[in-house]
């Protein structure tokens, strides 16, 4: 009777300990996100993919890349697809940090196609109030017209991305600064001037702010990497088609170097 009395509490304690050990071994991933397949093609070629899974409209590739556990996601184009994809990633997998890789349009005069932009902060340039007097960028409340939000990228990841960009590129320039996101492909010199004046933006694209907002909500560090496929001007569409593949691979090459240091 005495043996039984002390055996069961000991057994329960051992079971609880084993369960705790199992939970502690849960794999933690680096989340890698892009909008299009072409932006992750190089990564998938070098990765060892253990599982490919579709959740909603997003495709997730789970495996190892440069010795790191990764979840690589093709989110789809635009802020809605991006927010849906990153939310699925963060709720289905234990993601420690998020790196967005892809292409964008340049905003600064001194930039050229295939230059690199590392986002220090991200903003929705198309979020606000549109009335008879035009568009006002704000928090969406037509009464208060509060300023919209800037989402800060993780400083450590920004610094690493900048260093890896400099180490990877030879002839192209590397910039750090604001990236402006909106649900439109910008091909207008006039609008580029507005993005420069209003936000001091270095690049414009369609997903970064959505990724940033969800990561901020989940308290996950993130950074946005963008290689310029065009200058978001009157010939942006033609430039985008010509340089999309090269720009996607360049951004991926920088990310691969980052993984070696993480």
Active site residues: 39, 230
Phi/psi of residue 115, nearest 5 degrees: -70, 160
Strands 48-55 and 58-65, by their bridges, are antiparallel
Phi-psi region at 155: left, alpha or beta (left = phi > 0; alpha = psi -120 to 50) = alpha
Beta strand ranges found along 88-244 (DSSP E): 95-106, 116-124, 128-131, 134-137, 150-152, 174-181, 201-205, 222-230
Report the 10 Å Cβ neighbour count for 222: 27
| SS3 category, 257 | helix
Contacts for 126 with CB less than 8 Å, ≥ 6 apart: 182, 183, 184
* Residue 68: C-alpha distances to residues 50, 63, 168 (Å): 13, 8, 20
Closest C-alpha to 62, from 94, 87, 37: 94
Burial of 77 (0-12, 13-18, 19+ CB in 10 A): middle
Q: Contact, 37 vs 72, CB < 8 A?
A: no
CA pair distance 235, 167, nearest whole angstrom = 30
Q: Contact, 80 vs 204, CB < 8 A?
A: no
């Amino acid at each position: 009777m005495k043996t039984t009395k002390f055996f069961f509490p000991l057994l329960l304690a051992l079971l609880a300990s084993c369960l705790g050990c199992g939970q502690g071994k849960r794999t933690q991933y680096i989340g890698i996100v892009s909008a299009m397949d072409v932006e992750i093609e190089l990564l998938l070629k070098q990765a060892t993919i253990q599982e490919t899974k579709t959740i909603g409209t997003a495709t997730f590739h789970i495996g190892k890349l440069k010795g790191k556990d990764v979840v690589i996601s093709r989110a789809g184009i635009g802020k809605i697809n991006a927010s849906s994809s990153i939310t699925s990633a963060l709720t289905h997998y234990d993601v420690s940090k998020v790196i967005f890789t892809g292409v964008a349009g340049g905003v600064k005069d001194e930039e050229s196609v295939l230059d690199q932009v590392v986002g220090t902060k991200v903003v929705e340039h198309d979020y606000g109030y549109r009335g008879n007097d035009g568009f006002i960028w704000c928090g969406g409340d037509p009464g208060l017209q509060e300023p919209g939000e800037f989402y800060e990228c993780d400083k450590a990841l920004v610094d690493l991305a900048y260093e890896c960009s400099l180490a990877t590129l030879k002839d192209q320039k590397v910039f750090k600064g604001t990236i402006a996101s909106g649900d439109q492909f910008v091909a207008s010199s006039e609008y580029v001037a507005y993005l420069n004046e209003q936000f001091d933006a270095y690049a414009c694209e369609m997903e970064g702010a959505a990724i940033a907002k969800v990561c901020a909500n989940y308290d996950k560090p993130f950074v946005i990497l963008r290689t310029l496929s065009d200058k978001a001007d009157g010939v942006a569409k033609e430039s985008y088609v010509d340089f999309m593949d090269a720009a996607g691979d360049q951004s991926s090459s920088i990310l691969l170097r980052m993984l070696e240091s993480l």
